[in-house]
A and B are shown apart, each in its own frame.
Chain A
Amino acid sequence: MSEWVVDAKDLTKVYQMGEVQVHALRGLSLKVKPGEVISIMGPSGSGKSTLMNMLGCLDIPTSGEYLLDGENVSEMNDNQLAGIRNRKVGFVFQSFNLLPRSTALTNVELPLRYRARNGKDRRKTALAALEAVGLADRVTHRPNELSGGQQQRVALARAIVNNPSMIMADEPTGNLDTTSGDEIMTLLLNLNKERGATLIIVTHDPEIAEQTERVVQILDGVVVEDGK
């Protein structure tokens, strides 16, 4: 394992919006240790989402270098990006993003479907992940038969099923009531402790940020504050 899970140097991202060039990131650098829990905060338009896409390997920077777990992501093509997302990143979204017609088990299996692995093995791994989030008794339920909190827990199971180096959570409690939100936060932090996966939470809720070891403030595409 390399020294840093996330090692981003001087990232810039420029979008062409018609005639106008939008600089979403302006030379942002960030290093995250394995197993660390950080939250990224910043107002809308600060480049927070762009950074999240970058760190989650959904997009590549215009310039700069980004190493995820020692692998240079900034020069990968689409297929390589898909591969590294599949192996090293677990995503948790604000709106859960579950496949509505599929069971909890099938939803959790999804990342494993995109890699060579036999079905029995896959099922076992997915069941274990569902158990880890406390949903062992809901495997055959579809999203519309589950509460919001339960749906997000299925999404958590999906995020950890591929044993990622990093869990990327984008406003994970944003669509939940306080109780379920707290449950999800507790679960996320526990999973981080048990599995050692780095946890990056993008949020604008100070209460969430409060629970993480390190808070990174973004403004106008650069880090303006790093630490508690």
Chain B
Amino acid sequence: MNILQSFGEAIESLNANKMRSALTILGIVIGVAAVIALLGIGSGTQNVITDEINNIGTNLIYVTSGGDADHPDPLTLDDAAVIADPSNAPSVIYVAPTLQGNVEVAVTGESTNTQVIGITPEFYEVQNADVAEGVRINQEMLDSRSTVVLLGADTAENLFGTTTGLVGESVRIQGQPFKVVGILESEGGSAFQNTDDRVLIPLTTAQDRVLRRPNRGQVDLIYVQSSSSDTVPTAIDEASQILRARHRSTLGVDDFDIISTQSFIDAATTITGVFTIFLGGIAGISLLVGGIGIMNIMLVTVVERTKEIGLRKAMGARKRDILTQFLTESALLSLSGGLIGILLGYLLATAIGQIAAASGTPIAPAIDINSILLATLFSAAIGLFFGLYPANRAANLEPVEALRAE
């Protein structure tokens, strides 16, 4: 008997018990749907995270004080200046030292707590930030320690209820009057941070008036931008060498931390990857349960059709023929369950994507051809595996005994 015939017979026999077939494949349908949906959403989430980090720039390096030292030296403006010198660190193109903190920003009748960052002009380069109206904070303002401020779009909205026509207005930061010289371009919300809710002031002004630190020239966070994403590791090395030399840190113990956006991407990929595998594994268990369901029903089928098996054997069916017949049936069962599951999983993932988009976190579920192929093959394999035992039982029935069955 060839494969095509057994296929036809299998369809015929599954068709004869529609309700039972449908219920049997339900486990596989749910399992495959869950796997497909979860994998799709998992890689969708991963894409979103990677994209957002890519938007920040993959050649950005963050330097903070800390490390493994017990008493880390603070980072200073001088540290930044040395890293910025191309003869010391040729892979570095921009260095932006900053002071950062949360303070109260107020106008008459309104106040809000927001992040204030003391910046130098390099900040615009490393953060891809610019003003929507007004002017940037320039070197002149730094030199004169001007009490000027750039408002983030959301901060402006919170304080004034608008984002336009605010240049020349005055706000109070920790009670001190600052003149609004510009409004930052809105960058849109992001899953990690809201770069629209912050205010920028000159670094020198921050040192003197808003974010006072114990040491003269101390800064909190230095943004370092390498010439390209490929030179990130070199730039990290160069900056580390400089800081080690300048801080005279004990051998092997750095008193600073250097991380790159690339390491965020790696970490995020690892986390979402582990998460996806974990969820996929749980969904996989329902595939296992579905497979056992198929085995159960196939065993029942073999008992029910003992006489038919006897007849087929009397007509000249060999063990192999009977084995093929029942394996085809169980494989077809779970394969059709798998295909329905793929479709259902796709719909489910799309629906979840829609819900996520509606609630403000766009996740485009990414179901690639690989997971579809994998699910198809896997469900067929489950049918074959769990069908093996019942089919073997059928094939090994004695023709005389089987014919006698009622």
List A residues at the B interface (Cβ < 8 Å): 53, 56, 58-59, 78-79, 82-83, 85-87, 91, 93, 97, 99, 101-102, 110-111, 113-115, 158, 162
Q: A114 and B307: CB pair below 8 A? A: no
Decide if the interface of chain B is mainly helix, strand, loop or mixed: helix
Q: B319 and A86: CB pair below 8 A? A: no
CB contacts (< 8 Å) of B318 on chain A: these are: 78-79, 82-83, 114
Q: A114 and B12: CB pair below 8 A? A: no
- Selected from A53, A82, A102, the residue in CB contact (under 8 A) with B316 is A82
Q: A101 and B13: CB pair below 8 A? A: yes
CA distance A87 to B315 in the complex (A): 9
CB contacts (< 8 Å) of A158 on chain B: these are: 315
Q: B400 on the interface (CB 8 Å rule)?
A: yes
CA distance A14 to B320 in the complex (A): 28
- Selected from A59, A79, A101, A111, the residue in CB contact (under 8 A) with B315 is A111
CB contacts (< 8 Å) of B72 on chain A: these are: none
CA distance A99 to B5 in the complex (A): 15
Q: A113 and B311: CB pair below 8 A? A: no
Q: B1 on the interface (CB 8 Å rule)?
A: yes
Q: A58 and B400: CB pair below 8 A? A: yes
**How many residue-residue contacts, CB under 8 A, span A and B?**
58
CB contacts (< 8 Å) of A79 on chain B: these are: 318-320
Q: A85 and B315: CB pair below 8 A? A: yes
Q: A78 and B319: CB pair below 8 A? A: yes
Q: With CB as the reference atom, state the residue of chain A lying closest to B314.
A: A91
Taking the closest CB of chain B, its distance from the CB of A148, in whole angstroms, is 17
Q: B1 and A97: CB pair below 8 A? A: no
Q: With CB as the reference atom, state the residue of chain A lying closest to B311.
A: A97
Q: A85 and B316: CB pair below 8 A? A: yes
Q: B16 and A101: CB pair below 8 A? A: yes
Taking the closest CB of chain A, its distance from the CB of B398, in whole angstroms, is 8
Q: B400 and A82: CB pair below 8 A? A: no
CB contacts (< 8 Å) of A162 on chain B: these are: 316
Q: B12 and A110: CB pair below 8 A? A: no
Q: Would you list which residues of chain B between 384 and 406 have a CB under 8 Å from chain A? A: 398-400, 403
Q: Other than the known A58-B313, A58-B399, A113-B5, what 17 A-B pairs have Cβ atoms closer than 8 Å?
A: A58-B314, A59-B398, A78-B319, A82-B313, A82-B317, A82-B318, A83-B318, A85-B314, A93-B311, A101-B13, A101-B16, A110-B312, A111-B315, A114-B1, A114-B317, A114-B318, A158-B315
CB contacts (< 8 Å) of B313 on chain A: these are: 58, 82, 85
Taking the closest CB of chain B, its distance from the CB of A207, in whole angstroms, is 25
Q: B403 and A110: CB pair below 8 A? A: no
Q: With CB as the reference atom, state the residue of chain B lying closest to A81.
A: B399
Q: B12 and A101: CB pair below 8 A? A: yes
- Selected from B12, B16, B316, B321, the residue in CB contact (under 8 A) with A87 is B316
Taking the closest CB of chain B, its distance from the CB of A108, in whole angstroms, is 11
List B residues at the A interface (Cβ < 8 Å): 1, 5, 12-13, 16, 307-308, 311-321, 398-400, 403
Q: What are 29 A-B contacts with C-beta separation under 8 Å? A: A58-B313, A58-B399, A58-B400, A58-B403, A59-B398, A59-B399, A78-B318, A79-B318, A79-B319, A79-B320, A82-B318, A82-B319, A83-B316, A83-B318, A85-B315, A86-B315, A86-B316, A87-B316, A91-B314, A93-B403, A99-B311, A101-B12, A101-B13, A102-B12, A111-B315, A113-B5, A114-B316, A114-B317, A158-B315
CB contacts (< 8 Å) of B319 on chain A: these are: 78-79, 82
User: Which residue among B313, B315, B318, B319 has the maximum number of chain A CB atoms within 10 Å of its CB?
Assistant: B315
CA distance A117 to B312 in the complex (A): 17
CA distance A86 to B307 in the complex (A): 18
CA distance A86 to B318 in the complex (A): 10
CA distance A101 to B13 in the complex (A): 8
| In the complex, the 3 A-B pairs of residues with the closest C-beta atoms, listed nearest first | A86-B316, A114-B316, A111-B315
CB contacts (< 8 Å) of A53 on chain B: these are: 400
CA distance A99 to B311 in the complex (A): 9
Q: A110 and B13: CB pair below 8 A? A: no
CA distance A56 to B318 in the complex (A): 15
Q: With CB as the reference atom, state the residue of chain B lying closest to A119.
A: B5
Taking the closest CB of chain A, its distance from the CB of B395, in whole angstroms, is 10
Q: B314 and A114: CB pair below 8 A? A: no
CB contacts (< 8 Å) of A102 on chain B: these are: 12
CA distance A114 to B317 in the complex (A): 6
Q: B321 and A114: CB pair below 8 A? A: yes
Q: With CB as the reference atom, state the residue of chain B lying closest to A98.
A: B311
Taking the closest CB of chain A, its distance from the CB of B291, in whole angstroms, is 26
User: Which residue among A79, A114, A115 has the maximum number of chain B CB atoms within 10 Å of its CB?
Assistant: A114
Taking the closest CB of chain B, its distance from the CB of A14, in whole angstroms, is 14
Q: A97 and B307: CB pair below 8 A? A: yes
CA distance A102 to B11 in the complex (A): 12
CA distance A79 to B396 in the complex (A): 12
Taking the closest CB of chain B, its distance from the CB of A103, in whole angstroms, is 10
Q: B13 and A111: CB pair below 8 A? A: no
Taking the closest CB of chain B, its distance from the CB of A64, in whole angstroms, is 17
CA distance A97 to B402 in the complex (A): 12
Taking the closest CB of chain A, its distance from the CB of B49, in whole angstroms, is 54
Q: With CB as the reference atom, state the residue of chain A lying closest to B5.
A: A113
CB contacts (< 8 Å) of B1 on chain A: these are: 113-114
Q: With CB as the reference atom, state the residue of chain B lying closest to A82.
A: B318
Q: A59 and B316: CB pair below 8 A? A: no
Q: B314 and A56: CB pair below 8 A? A: yes
Q: With CB as the reference atom, state the residue of chain A lying closest to B16.
A: A101
CA distance A56 to B403 in the complex (A): 13
